[in-house]
Amino acid sequence: MPKFRYTAMDADGGEIQGVMDAANQSQVLTAIRSKNYFPTKVVELGNEGGSKGPVAASVKGGQPNKGLSMEIKLPGFLKARVKNKTLMTFTRQLATLQDAGLPLLRGLRILLKQEKNPALREALAGMGESVEGGSTFSEALAQYPKIFDNLFVNMVKAGEAGGVMEVVLIRLAEFMEKAQRIRNKIKSAMVYPVVVLVFAMIILSFLMIRVIPNFAEIFDDLLEGKPLPALTQFVINVSHGFVHRWYYILGTIVVLIVLWQAWRATRQGRYILDMVKLRAPVFGPLFSKTAIARFTRTLGTLMSSGVPVLQALNIVRDTAGNAVVAKAVQQVHDSVKEGDTMALPMDVCGVFPGMVVSMVDVGEETGALPEMLVKIADNYEDEVDTAVEGLTSVIEPIMIILLALIIGTIVIAMFVPLISIIGEMSG
């Protein structure tokens, strides 16, 4: 009898792993569900214990598809990805169909016919077969973790348990729409500085490669070996490096980028970088407000949908997007698991402002914590909008001044010797 290695989640959101003997994947899923666990991954093992890869995700009637046909799959990086906007549209459309009373399977098939994204079409086809074979919708979604994250899967699971699937899908769609709106505003605020920075680099490269070498030749001819001012010599040396040592500069940049990416991928590096983001003088308040809005919106949406608080905190920790906030959420989770309130560890960690802690405390006392979290998210999203507008007005003069300083320094460095040469020629 084949062996299957499984990964599942318990009622508290904890991860459980094990090995089970079963005739097929369906028996493993049934056994896991009978223990009140939620299966997230089932992998068949070989006779020697080596992994043979995941069992076929397309299951109909509880049995993996069999046959001699060979399926050629593209590497992961060549497959089309599902953008947030596409997933948001799918969720909104499915919520509308569910609210209209259409069966889930029929709704999936309707959306499959009109979907153009190849990755989402493949997922819809597989989910339709899984649902038709007896799997729940949340189990079908869990087969595609690169498209549907833990937040999506667990909210759907809560909707299935409470019989309010259409309400949960509407909340999911609203959640994604608001998150996308915040991302769009932040991106739009960064367009101007990025454009200015690109043009500044182009102008600077042109000056260093084409203009300054001509000035250097003029100075050599007219000054006849006399020393140049320190600033002028420094600019000429930099230009000489751009022209004749560009491969060293390029290699140094590549090495620094690789080292930066490797350091940022470590737990310590990611934590330090996220801490710097939250405490940065200009961008820090924006990053902080965005992280708090995301935390409260996600937690409030999960709890409103019926997800248990400990499981909701685990999901929020994994989707926080900031290592500092994730660590604070873990502290809140541990405190709640011991029977304490959420407000106390939120106050101790120092990540959340006093107003947020006070509102969470009031929400816990009144029994309206999910609603209070959503109100906090609405308030901070409005503050993010204001911060983005203020940041745009601050960045524009900073970028103009920075560009003027760089170009002005180069111009002054080149004209100081010229003034000296012209004076000597006039004398």
Give 148-190 pLDDT, tens digit per residue. Answer: 887 788 778 877 877 778 888 888 888 888 888 878 877 877 7
Q: Using CB atoms within 10 Å of the CB of residue 417, give its burial: 0 to 12 exposed, 13 to 18 middle, 19+ buried.
A: buried
Please compute, for residue 312, the number of CA atoms within 13 A of its CA located in the half-sphere on the CB side: 23
What pLDDT does residue 14 have?
67
Least confident range from 45-54, 55-64, 318-327, 339-348: namely 55-64
Q: Which helix (H) or strand (E) holds 64?
A: strand 63-64
Average pLDDT of the chain is: 80
Q: 96-133 as b/e, with b when 16 or more CB fall inside 10 Å?
A: ebbeeebebeebbeebbeebebebbbbbbebbbbbbee
Average pLDDT over residues 402-426: 81
In the block, residue with structure tokens 């459980």: 16
Higher-confidence residue of 423 and 142: namely: 142
Contact 349, 334 (CB under 8 A): no
Q: Which of 31-40, 356-365, 404-413 has the least mean pLDDT?
A: 31-40
Average pLDDT on 88-117 reads 87
* pLDDT for position 256: 94
